[in-house]
Amino acid sequence: MTIEIISDKGQWDGFIEESPYGMLFHRWDYLKTIEKYIGYDLLTYGIFKGSTLIGVLPLFYKKKGGIKLVYSPPPGTLTYTPYMGLVMGDIYATVRQRKKESYLDLAWNDVSRELKRLAPNYVSITFVPDMNDIRPMIWDGYNTQLLYTYLIDLDRPLDDMWNDFESDCKKNIRSCEKYDLTIMQTSDVDTFYSNMGESLKAHGKTFFRRQDSGFLKELIALFPDNIKLYFLYRGSEVLGMTIDCMYKGLYMGWCGDNVINRDLKVNEYLEWEKIKAAKSEGYKCYENWGGDMKRLNVFKSKFNPKLMPYYHVKKLDAVGKLSDFGYGMLSSISINLIKR
Amino acid sequence: MNHNISIEPIGNKSLWDKFIDESPNSLLFHKWDFLKIAEKYTGYKVYAYGFYRRDELISVLPIFHKKRKGMNFVYSPPQTTLSYIPYMGFAFSPTYYHLNQHEKESGLCSMISEMDQVLRGLSANYVSYATVPGDVDSRPYIWNGYEALLQYTYVIDLERPLEAIWEEFDRNCRKRIEAAEKLRPSVIRSDDSGTLFRIMRERFADQGDTFFHRQTPEYLKELLSTFPDEIKMYFIYSGDELIGADVNCEYKDLCMSWMGTAVMKENLNANEYMLWEIIKGAKDAGKKRYENLGADEKRLNDFKAKFNPSLIPYFYIIKKNILYRTTSYIMEKMSKKA
């Protein structure tokens, strides 16, 4: 196998479209937008078996304060991107287990060699949920972290889904249905941004404070069919807002779900409306992204979703560890200062 | 005490075993007599706990405790080099699996918190659980200060037709089985644990203190006689010559290649042949899954993956207190200096 930089957008996007592991976050224009807004260099690696492209890996590289960093995806506070990492092609998905393991082993050997050439102090890679074999990375000395997300199977009848919701969740939805609520698609990213920034003020330097709203505006403009911002209204009053991401069979509640008016329990209502819409538009699966924050899970698990693990791997040398420790300290100091 | 979940020791074997038999995730390793035999041969003391939700027993957890060099160790299961038990941890009732996601999460969180109170009573310095494959939620442990280490195992779905299972084997694997079949090897059930231990000790002579070096054959002998319908040892012969050995564990819908799969004659393809015979036997017996235990040793995976199994994750859940961490750190430094 060989590894080389791919510079052909058509080849890259064609691969992502066909791969069962390819997500919107891997698309060429999405990656280029990240590169533009975060100031890291994008390295678009392709892994070839002979002349056949069998895997791709987008990496973001930066030398910052003498420390070499490699991310895929870059930190959430800069891009809000949940998954990225190595994407294997549809061949990988269909071959038998032994071949699968051999393909992945060989592909990772190439990636590992390339990473050694880059000699980063800090490497962080988060895989998509279905890329569930991370043994080659463990054998390569990477530390693993298990993360979770919540999925709802949309192939079931709507009534079944509704019956699985907790009773207080159903009650809250019904109580909202009495009001004349409407959900409208909008392009008002600035209002969304300022609301989210305000709502998450106590959580330190979040994405909405670190990143420019232009990033999201540009993504929405580039992917009008895949990234959509919605506001929930009662009359002309905005009660809630959400950005959703749709790609292939997946509808993801991605960014926000901010509730502005706490008197009405609109969060459950908004979620249910999105599930219904996703099902009626033919999506197979609804993802309420992220199952690792205990304070949010009480809400998310009310819809009786399935828990889905995904994997994050990290490798740090002594310099990387020191910088990671320092960054962690600074973040917690800044959160404490904000709270005070 | 937690408002929803209460914990109580269980001393009633039939209550325990009935629960284990009905639990969707329990394994033979959870059964009362298995625990007692493990206790007898490992030198750890076993404690059996039940977790109640509104008076209903919804989970049980066996733990093994030992004080060693001033430190208190708690395992579920005991170390594999002493017990060869791969998984244990919590076994849940069917009710637990029917709870909605929210109640499941808060329930497990409460069980772990309740258990931690007991562990504090034991002054545990080191706690380790190996969860049953299929139980994917490690978050409640992490939120209670544990770390989760990812592990894998291989499982073959036996609900498919035998021909479909066969067709999915690697070509070279099928060829080796067909070649072995020509030699007409015989697979004979045996209880001669001494022979298995002798073979395994020789085979793993260069691998240090393995289970077969640390444990006695009597442990396996007692398990074989206590669970004759569940634990079965087979020897494979070519003529009069012993060419392979395997210990299977069969319980509910699972057949597991558990201990061994030792092959004395590599060139006779006995390993592939024996596995295929086990798979056929398990399917005949109505088992739904066949597990070829363990997928984390690269050197073995090339063989195991030939049978096109699915890769299933499970977790080692570990908590080390500050005293254990400090002592381990000092010991490590000292051994490096020496």
pLDDT in tens, A243-259: 999 999 999 999 876 66
Residues of B in CB contact (< 8 Å) with A are 100-102, 105, 136-139, 143, 148-150, 152, 154, 168, 170, 295-296, 298, 301-302, 305-311, 313, 315
Average pLDDT over all residues of chain A: 91
As a whole number, mean pLDDT of residues A168-190 equals 93
Position B300 in a domain? no
As a whole number, mean pLDDT of residues A188-200 equals 89
Position B296 in a domain? no
Check if A2-141+310-339 and A150-304 are the same fold. yes
Model confidence, pTM: 0.91
Tell me phi and psi for residue A39, to 5 degrees: 75, 20
pLDDT in tens, A265-288: 888 999 999 999 999 999 999 999
Q: How confident is the model at residue A262 (pLDDT cuts 50, 70, 90)?
A: low
DSSP-derived secondary structure for A109-139: HHHHHHHHHH--SEEEEEB-TT----HHHHH
Token pair 């998905």 in the structure block, residue: A93
The answer on pLDDT for A260 being more than 80 is no
Q: Nearest 5 degrees, angle CA A136-CA A142-CA A146?
A: 90
DSSP-derived secondary structure for B210-275: -HHHHS-HHHHHHHHHH-TTTEEEEEEEETTEEEEEEEEEEETTEEEEEEEEEES-GGGTHHHHHH
Do B223 and B126 share a structural domain? no
Q: How confident is the model at residue B1 (pLDDT cuts 50, 70, 90)?
A: very low
Position B231 in a domain? yes
Q: Best interface-test mutation with A: which of B110, B139, B312 has the largest number of A CBs within 10 A? A: B139
CATH code, A2-141+310-339: 3.40.630.30
pLDDT in tens, A110-124: 999 999 999 999 999
Residues of A in CB contact (< 8 Å) with B are 96-98, 100-101, 132-135, 138-139, 144, 146, 148, 150, 164, 166, 291-292, 294, 297-298, 301-307, 309, 311
Do B188 and B66 share a structural domain? no
The answer on pLDDT for A327 being more than 80 is no
Note the pLDDT of residue A258.
63
The answer on pLDDT for A221 being more than 60 is yes
Instruction: Report chain A residues whose CB lies below 8 A from the CB of B302.
Output: 98, 101
Do B120 and B19 share a structural domain? yes
Under an 8 A CB cutoff, do B139 and A291 touch? Answer: yes
Question: β-strand B71-76 against B56-68: which pairing, if any?
Answer: antiparallel
Give the torsion sign (CA, A142, A146, A150, A155). positive
Q: How far is B97 from chain A (nearest CA, A)?
A: 12
Do B97 and B12 share a structural domain? yes
Note the pLDDT of residue B208.
81
Q: Which residues contact A52 (CB under 8 A, 6 or more apart)?
A: A91
Average pLDDT over all residues of chain B: 92
Note the pLDDT of residue A256.
74
Position B237 in a domain? yes
Q: CA distances (Å), B123 to each of A44, B100, B145, in order?
A: 52, 34, 16
* Nearest-by-Cβ selection for A132 from B168, B308, B313: B313
Note the pLDDT of residue A329.
64
Instruction: Report chain A residues whose CB lies below 8 A from the CB of B308.
Output: 96-98
In percent, the amount of chain A with pLDDT more than 70 equals: 94
As a whole number, mean pLDDT of residues B207-234 equals 95
Position B225 in a domain? yes
* Nearest-by-Cβ selection for A101 from B305, B310, B313: B305
Note the pLDDT of residue A199.
82
Note the pLDDT of residue B27.
98
Tell me phi and psi for residue B92, to 5 degrees: -110, 155
Do B230 and B137 share a structural domain? no
Under an 8 A CB cutoff, do A306 and B101 touch? Answer: yes
Number of domains in chain B: 2
The helix (H) or strand (E) run that includes residue B128 is strand B126-130
In percent, the amount of chain A with pLDDT more than 90 equals: 76
A150-304 is a CATH 3.40.630.30 domain: yes
Q: How far is A136 from chain B (nearest CA, A)?
A: 9
Q: How confident is the model at residue A1 (pLDDT cuts 50, 70, 90)?
A: confident
CA–CA gap between residue A46 and residue A48 (Å, rounded): 6
Q: Nearest 5 degrees, angle CA A82-CA A155-CA A159?
A: 110
Among the residue ranges A196-200, A234-238, A304-308, B68-72, the one predicted with the least confidence is A196-200
The answer on pLDDT for B153 being more than 90 is yes
Position B53 in a domain? yes
Under an 8 A CB cutoff, do B170 and A101 touch? Answer: no
Q: How far is B182 from chain A (nearest CA, A)?
A: 26
- Pick from A157, A178, A202, A331: which is nearest to A266 by CA? A178
The answer on pLDDT for A293 being more than 60 is yes
Q: Which residues contact A147 (CB under 8 A, 6 or more apart)?
A: A126, A291, A292, A309, A310, A311, A312
Q: How far is B157 from chain A (nearest CA, A)?
A: 13
Note the pLDDT of residue A180.
87
Do B325 and B263 share a structural domain? no
Under an 8 A CB cutoff, do A305 and B101 touch? Answer: yes
Instruction: Report chain B residues whose CB lies below 8 A from the CB of A133.
Output: 152, 311
pLDDT in tens, A222-251: 999 999 999 999 988 889 899 999 999 999
All structural domains of chain A with their residue ranges: 2-141+310-339, 150-304
* Domain region containing B224: 159-287
**Closest-approach residue (CA) in chain B for A164:** B100
Do B53 and B19 share a structural domain? yes
Note the pLDDT of residue B314.
95
Do B190 and B139 share a structural domain? no
**At B105, which CATH number?**
3.40.630.30
As a whole number, mean pLDDT of residues A205-219 equals 91
Q: Give B330 or B218, the one with higher predicted confidence.
A: B218
The answer on pLDDT for A333 being more than 70 is no
Note the pLDDT of residue A321.
73
Note the pLDDT of residue A205.
80
pLDDT in tens, B299-313: 889 999 999 999 999
